[in-house]
């Protein structure tokens, strides 16, 4: 029987090196290079001095407006489903018996 490798600080698991990324049409050009974002044209009004921020607006424009200030500093961005589109996003979940 083959012994499993021990993963840790000096031997990270291969999956821990993968990154999750939000991708949309037009983010990359036909060669796979990321397109530049016009941050100045996408600036959104925000209130300063918050650790958590709630920004209301188009997802792509909001993400672009936050890029300059937070690039490489954000662990999670939660994007709510679209509202007022007439779709029902609710679901039924069975709990217990």
Report field, pTM of the whole predicted structure over 0.75: no
Per-residue pLDDT tens digits for 46-59:
556 556 777 777 77
How many CB atoms neighbour CB 60 within 10 A? Answer: 14
pLDDT for the residue 31: 92
* Bridge partners of residue 59, in order along the sequence: none
Q: Which residues contact 38 (CB under 8 A, 6 or more apart)?
A: 64
Render pLDDT for 55-93 as a digit per residue (tens, 0 to 9).
777 777 888 888 888 888 877 777 766 666 777 777 788
């Amino acid at each position: 029987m083959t012994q499993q490798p021990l993963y840790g600080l000096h031997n990270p698991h291969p999956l821990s090196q993968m990154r999750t990324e939000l991708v949309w049409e037009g983010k990359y050009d036909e060669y796979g290079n990321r397109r530049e974002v016009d941050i100045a044209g996408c600036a959104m009004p925000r209130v300063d001095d918050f650790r958590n921020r709630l920004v209301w607006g188009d997802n792509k424009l909001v993400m672009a407006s936050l890029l300059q200030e937070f690039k490489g500093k954000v662990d999670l961005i939660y994007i709510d489903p679209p509202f007022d589109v007439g779709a029902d996003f609710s679901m039924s979940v069975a709990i217990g018996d």
